[in-house]
């Protein structure tokens, strides 16, 4: 019995949640940079949401609640748009203010964490869509 794809996704989402939450704590406590902390925390929350999606898939919870997957897709799209806007905004501000790339308080790091938030929210949308398609096919077959 080998490692299944879902188990790799669970491990990846767990790691992403831990890193995002630790970034939230580090940039709030050590560096006092609220924008980077907020985007790191949001990336951790999106990774945690992906983790919940995978665990609910393993528990076969989605079979009876396809509307929940639609809700997860909508949330993923909304946060993708928000993260893309934040990424462009932080990058523009960092360039126009001529901030240093090596400064831990620069907005370049906020744009990096905005991109990671974009990645996790996009993955939430993709996973929700994939699971919804899978269970929608099964529910159509069970009607006959």
CA distance 27 to 78: 25
Contacts of residue 46, defined as CB under 8 A and 6 or more positions apart, other chains included, come to 20, 76, 79, 117, 120, 121, 123, 124
Instruction: Spell out the per-residue pLDDT of the chain, length 144, in tens.
Output: 568 999 999 999 999 999 999 999 999 999 999 999 999 999 999 999 999 999 999 998 888 888 899 999 999 999 999 999 999 999 999 999 999 999 999 999 999 999 999 999 999 999 999 999 988 776 554 544
CA distance 11 to 13: 6
Whole-number pLDDT of residue 17: 98
pLDDT tens across 51-76, in order? Answer: 999 999 999 888 888 889 999 999 99
Could you tell me if 47 and 113 are in contact, meaning their C-beta atoms sit under 8 angstroms apart? Answer: no
């Amino acid at each position: 019995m080998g490692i299944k794809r879902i188990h790799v996704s669970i491990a990846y989402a767990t790691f992403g949640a831990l890193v995002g939450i630790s970034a939230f704590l580090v940039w709030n406590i050590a560096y006092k940079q609220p924008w980077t902390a907020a985007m790191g925390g949001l990336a951790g929350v999106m990774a945690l949401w992906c983790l919940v999606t995978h665990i609910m898939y393993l528990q076969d919870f989605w079979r009876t609640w396809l509307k929940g997957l639609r809700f997860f897709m909508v949330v993923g799209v909304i946060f993708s748009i928000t993260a893309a806007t934040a990424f462009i905004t932080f990058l523009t501000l960092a360039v126009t203010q001529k901030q240093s790339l090596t400064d831990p308080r620069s907005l370049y790091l906020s744009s990096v964490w905005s991109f990671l938030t974009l990645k996790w929210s996009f993955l939430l949308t993709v996973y929700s869509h994939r699971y919804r398609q899978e269970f929608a096919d099964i529910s159509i077959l069970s009607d006959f």
